[in-house]
Structure 1
Amino acid sequence: MATETPQTDPSLLEAVPALSTSVQDLGKLIADPDSDLPAKELPKLDELIDDYYNRDTGVGNEEFALRILQVFQQSTHKDVYEKVVNQLPSDQRRAVKDFVGKGLSAEEADRLLVQEIPIVAPLEVQTNEIRLFSSKKSEPLVPERKYIKGATENLLFENWGRTVKHTPQITYYPENIKEVQTIVRDAVKNNQGVRVSGFRHSWAPVFGRNDITDKKHNGSVLISTLTERNASVLPNFTSLPSSLFQPKETELNHISVVDAAYVGAQRPLTGGKKYVRVGTATTNEQFRRWCIDEGNVTLPMNIIEVEITFGGSNATICHGAGMQHSTLSDLVRCIEYVNARGDVCTVNMADPELMKAASGCFGLLGVVTHITFECDAMLTAVMRPVKLDAIEAIPPPPGMKDSDIPAPLWKQRTPEQKKTHQDNFERRANNDFYAEWFWFPYSTKVWVNTWSTDASTKNVVNYPSNKDVFLQVAETAFMNMAQEILHSVHALQARPQMQTAVLSWLAMRNLDERKENQKPIRTLLPNALHFQRGVQNIRVRDLEVELPLHAKKGTTTERDYSNVQRAWWDAIRACYEHAETSPMRMPLEMRMMGSSSVTMAPQRGNKLGTCAIEILTLKVVSDIWEPFAQKVLDKWVGYSDNDGRPVVVKPHWAKEWYNYKVDGAPWVRKLKNDVYRDQIAEFRTLLAAIGEKHGWTLADIKKTFSNELLDYLYLDDV
């Protein structure tokens, strides 16, 4: 039988107030002249809270953003506000300051951003504004620049999540294939390793080699496909509607349509599908705009963030959501790379078995310069996001008693209501084109973002609108301010649960919702996939696992979601059980997706589908995060199917997993020797076959393109 959720002291779960109660309690603290929280530390926040919960007309997004920014601007901790605002380029700074202090509307602020060119070096500037439904084609590529060796020496590398750092001997920013070839040939000649990074949005040590302790650098070369400004400086403005903040077009971020022969296919695509060749430096935002402006195609799924490059998201086998979808790497039809000899090589559909390894290879083939995806004809997403009671959105699993449900989330339900909630959850998970759920700590609601599609692209809106994108980016700024200011307020230092509840309140109210009497949002699919902009401006820690689905007892095809529900509620319970320190301060997220044919994909072999579930927190509480995440992981890896067989849980390769343990041993050891043993052997065989065809060996790639982690997993005996 499946593992039953263990009992917990009910007092632990009853002692934590509901999110709305915590937020309103904060308002009372501020308003009470005798409390230990002086009103000047968070001036007029009590009035905003009172209006939000008690005013009949509510508080709209624009008014809320304005008033919360004014709270921080007028606070005794206004130095935090000034620090964040002064980090903005000149036009953003003026737009935000005029929005806060001079009555500029969000729409006017957005127009100001589009009109002015920021004076920020070395930010590259592109002159063409985003064009919706335009027939105008991209401008020709810029002329090839002269290759300059030694772009930056001894520059510290840090990943986005700040979990990996090292110092390459040289960091290069190539713009074309010839430059990449020269870099690789020089590195091989000088006995140097080469690794590549994009936006650096991975928490695992998949980047360069570690520092050599007695030297300033690790002796290796880093190829950064984004400039240092675009890759590592926050805030990042890639998501703003203006094109002023997009990387300039180069050969390595160029997008074009290619024919079937280019990818080794037997016949052309039909039904509006196209093979789209994408440079690995291309960001999701550049691709989103191209799909809408020119391509009239879309990826059927993608990650949410628009700043990420395709080279990075594909190398680590990233995914989107929806049971009928697999991973990004499953959509790859051609990989172009520079090998250890400096030659340009191609793997495509003419060798389908080799594609299974090449399409998700962690950069081991060499420097991947272009990826060709099979894209669908443009579709319309019909979105109706809702905020449901937690107990309704994802019902507690079988065997979970009412006393195990945190008191703020419990409510009486009849057997008929329980069945309806279960049926609705399974219907969304099984059938909706896109399916994901968000729960922010201590909220009584879950944000449910599952939707269907329409082949008609008429009567669509630009979503989120330019005004809403400005507000979303502004709200990431005040989320950063909020976490630092709340952490600095002496009266709140002993109230971490209240701090977390306020952050969850700020985040939840920013998520869109459609009531039953409202029309759904009709927007083009690429917009829906990237529904939230600017989230990359808040650094987080992130543990994600891929949980395989199994069949209901007595069936072979009906999906049993009991372990999914168990994993969801085990994470929620852990959050409440640790409320005294609140190590989890960002959401619990869950997506449903299918299986995969990519050799090293965590979803491979999950015939009935996969649940991708993750917990996040803010970087400011990293010191208490890993012990908490380990406890949640201990729960997740302990489930069984209906026949009592242990469920094999795998990590998302790009998220946190390297520092954790399973059954008391390093997880990486278990992955290598047990979970992925057969897949690793197959992966090595396929890599060797590609090398034999293209003139290199496993020893060549270990020397030039690997690092310590990849050596251990795949090349330890080479």
Structure 2
Amino acid sequence: MTDSSANSETTIPVGSQSAWFLTTDQILQRLSDALAENREVRASLPGLKDLLDDYLDDEVDLRRVEFHRRLLRVFRDAPRDATYGSLLAKLEGSERERVARFVDDDAATPDECGVGFEHTMSLGVREHLRDMLRGKRVPAAPGPRGLGRVRAPVTTELYPDEVLVYKDTEFHNWGLTEQYTPVYTCIPSTVAGVQRIVRYAKSRSMGVRCAGFLLSRKGHPPSLSLSRSFREPRKKGNTLVRVGVAVTNERLRRWCVASNRYTLPVNTIMVEMTMGGINAPICHGSGIGQQTLSDLVRKVEYVDANGELRVVDEPEHLRVASGCFGLMGVITHLTLEFAPMTYAILEAKHVPTIRAIPPPPGMSLEDIPPALRLELTAEERKHDQEAFERHATRDYYNEWFWFPFSDTIWVNCWDHTTDEDGVEDYPNEGAIFFSFVTQFALNVLQSAPILRDFIDKLGLNEAATTLIGRAAKFALPEKRVKTYLNDALHFQRGIQNVRVLNLEVSIPLVPAKADPTKPDWAIVQKAWWDAILKCYEHSDTCPQRMPLEMRIMGSSDVVMAPQRGNHLGTCAIEILTLYSAKEDWVWYAQEVLDGWMALTDSEGRKLRTRPHWAKQWKEFRVDGKPWAETLRADVYKDEIAEFKRTLTNIGRFHGPLGGYEELIRLQTV
């Protein structure tokens, strides 16, 4: 059956019928037609119809750079919407000038605008720092005795040697899912400063909570060096590297590229996060041969509940300390096992949705949206299945991105080599700048009232989501390049500037009935396609406005890791949306989660599917109960007991000053 045909007996989901039947281009054509019929709206979004028409015209070679330039011009010139100007004003001076030049000048290329471009701090963090430095709710008075001094309202230096203290300054996390106002917000720049803060808090029965949104002191080199630990790496040829927890992935990346000797073999995509921030919640990368970042930790240095500097390097203790969520104390340094530098060969591809990850056995063609159907031979289906399994089991790194209502999937699967001939640092300044521009464009799209009003008026939610998805998809790299392994892990920049909400679970790969030595890939394929069908089912409101993503990775030895015990590997799968869709998100994500939690193995047994600790999970329910309750009472019951027992043993190992038996008792209560 081809894209244009449809079975008359097909059951159409509850949502918009157009999304079910129409391809990406047909949905965007519908948006263009609506603009043609409404002169007032067309005038309020000048140039949008022409942009869509050129994009849809096979005779026009509209490249992704020009797509984003013209898209931003629509909102720059919008007579009744100031979104573009207000968001542009929030950028730093140099960033603002570069973006404006790119948008205004047809001849301005990303490479020209990107010369000397450097951006590693999210806009939300920057605004928070500005508020603090302007003296927002900060008294111009001496700080608490023994702790430091309150920062004067007027200052330009962020990182002096002493502890800075701000009073009653609200903190929120990136996704705005956690907000609180501590009595004091303290910014130490030394380990001694951390110790001073902990001792002050203890003497006054106050708690200490770490938030990794500040970096190491501006202009100073990162705390990062080859370690002289007495312990040897577990794998021959590897080395140990001591890293301060305030070191960002970007600084670590530059250090690895400059030395061209060693690299972390696995990492998250974002370069803006700190090493402490990605280690504490047991973050991960991709590749069935890779474990979590916490599995690479060989030593933890931290300040305990009494303000004493401690070290954990016993293997059994590290299985807890390396992923302890900050419950052990204030981590100051990590020693991790690095591998020799290798080089990745990137060549991401856009593959038809039905072919990149084939529907699972038992899913009929009528169950699949006609927009995604292709007429395939048995040989082609066999080839597609083998290609998917090969990427999942043999490639060093793998991931699949599907944007809502898209008829293609972005497949980013690659291997690595020790041959460095032809290697280049990637992405270059121009590509990084273009990533920044595309994320800026996404913020404009999700924030512009004029676009929301137009979509609501005409009931074209799936068209707006498709436009956003197309813009985001254009931000993904397409060129073939050979680059440093850690560059390949951080292939995309600027994504921290688009606030999103996301739910991710780790689904264990379980034995196939026909061959218990191999995973049952049908479960993975069902999880993937269930999420796609759920998106179509609710295309009338489009709660999901960013991609469905999936990575296949290994297991973990860390006690609280979601991947622990998954000996055949783990499927890390997640759904994302823009923050602007927050009102419709939780109920929608709950429906997707219900499907994932209902998955069973070939014997009908429910899988031990677990949440990614750094994503959303506390809002959801499993088996009719709050997810936290089922995790505590069942799925993580044994691990929690082991976790607390090991923390207690660490405290006893450190002697009477450890203070952990009392800490564990309080946590238990």
Question: TM-score surpassing 0.5?
Answer: yes
Partner of 1:547: 507
Matched, 1:384 2:347: yes
Aligned equivalents of 2:420, 2:41: Cα separation in 1: 54
Partner of 2:223: 254
Matched, 1:521 2:485: no
Matched, 1:73 2:36: no
Aligned equivalents of 2:424, 2:196: Cα separation in 1: 46
Q: 8 Å contact 1:37–1:491 — kept in the other structure?
A: no
- Give the 5 Å matches for 1:467-616: 467-485=430-448, 488-493=451-456, 494-513=459-478, 520-616=480-576
Q: CA deviation at 1:557?
A: 1.1
Q: CA deviation at 1:113?
A: 4.1
Q: 8 Å contact 1:65–1:471 — kept in the other structure?
A: no
Matched, 1:294 2:262: no
Aligned equivalents of 2:89, 2:40: Cα separation in 1: 27
Unaligned runs of 5+ in 1: 1-6, 124-141, 200-224, 228-245, 515-519, 704-710
Partner of 2:162: 147
Kindly tell me: are residues 465 and 148 of structure 1, through their superposed partners in 2, closer, same or farther at Cα, counting changes over 3 Å?
A: closer
Matched, 1:191 2:143: no
SS of equivalent residue, structure 1 residue 345: strand
Matched, 1:650 2:610: yes
Aligned equivalents of 2:392, 2:161: Cα separation in 1: 52
What is the one-letter code of the residue matched to 2:245?
T
Aligned equivalents of 1:269, 1:288: Cα separation in 2: 22
SS of equivalent residue, structure 1 residue 308: coil
Q: 8 Å contact 1:42–1:71 — kept in the other structure?
A: yes
What is the one-letter code of the residue matched to 1:658?
K
SS of equivalent residue, structure 1 residue 38: helix
Aligned equivalents of 2:540, 2:235: Cα separation in 1: 57
Q: CA deviation at 1:465?
A: 1.9
Aligned equivalents of 2:401, 2:228: Cα separation in 1: 40
What is the one-letter code of the residue matched to 1:716?
T
Partner of 1:130: none
Of 288, 301, 305 in structure 2, the residue corresponding to residue 336 of structure 1 is 301
Partner of 2:328: 365
What is the one-letter code of the residue matched to 2:483?
T
Partner of 2:151: none
Q: CA deviation at 1:35?
A: 2.2
Of 656, 659, 666 in structure 1, the residue corresponding to residue 626 of structure 2 is 666
Matched, 1:175 2:179: no
CA RMSD, Structure 1 to Structure 2 (Å): 2.3
Q: CA deviation at 1:487?
A: 6.0
Unaligned runs of 5+ in 2: 1-8, 120-125, 131-156
Q: CA deviation at 1:10?
A: 2.9
Q: 8 Å contact 2:345–2:481 — kept in the other structure?
A: yes
Partner of 1:46: 49
Q: 8 Å contact 1:173–1:226 — kept in the other structure?
A: no
- Give the 5 Å matches for 1:395-474: 395-474=358-437
Q: CA deviation at 1:462?
A: 2.4
Aligned equivalents of 1:187, 1:563: Cα separation in 2: 49
Matched, 1:104 2:108: yes
Kindly tell me: are residues 295 and 38 of structure 1, through their superposed partners in 2, closer, same or farther at Cα, counting changes over 3 Å?
A: same
SS of equivalent residue, structure 1 residue 653: coil
Q: 8 Å contact 1:545–1:650 — kept in the other structure?
A: yes
TM-score (norm 2): 0.89
Residues 643-680 of structure 1, C-alpha deviations (whole Å, 9 max, x = no match):
22111110001111101101111110110010011111
Aligned equivalents of 2:644, 2:593: Cα separation in 1: 29
What is the one-letter code of the residue matched to 2:204?
N
Identity %: 40
Q: CA deviation at 1:492?
A: 1.0
Aligned equivalents of 1:589, 1:105: Cα separation in 2: 30
Partner of 1:4: none
Aligned equivalents of 2:100, 2:360: Cα separation in 1: 49
Aligned equivalents of 1:530, 1:146: Cα separation in 2: 31
Aligned equivalents of 1:548, 1:507: Cα separation in 2: 30
Q: 8 Å contact 1:259–1:268 — kept in the other structure?
A: no
SS of equivalent residue, structure 1 residue 505: helix
What is the one-letter code of the residue matched to 2:620?
Y
Partner of 1:206: none
Residues 60-115 of structure 1, C-alpha deviations (whole Å, 9 max, x = no match):
23322322221111112441000111111111111222222244332222126469
SS of equivalent residue, structure 1 residue 435: coil
What is the one-letter code of the residue matched to 1:60?
R
How many residue pairs match? The answer is 619
Of 321, 330, 355 in structure 1, the residue corresponding to residue 318 of structure 2 is 355
SS of equivalent residue, structure 1 residue 353: helix
Residues 389-447 of structure 1, C-alpha deviations (whole Å, 9 max, x = no match):
11100011111111111121112222211111111000000110001100000000010
Runs of 4+ in 1 over 6 A off after TM superposition: 120-123
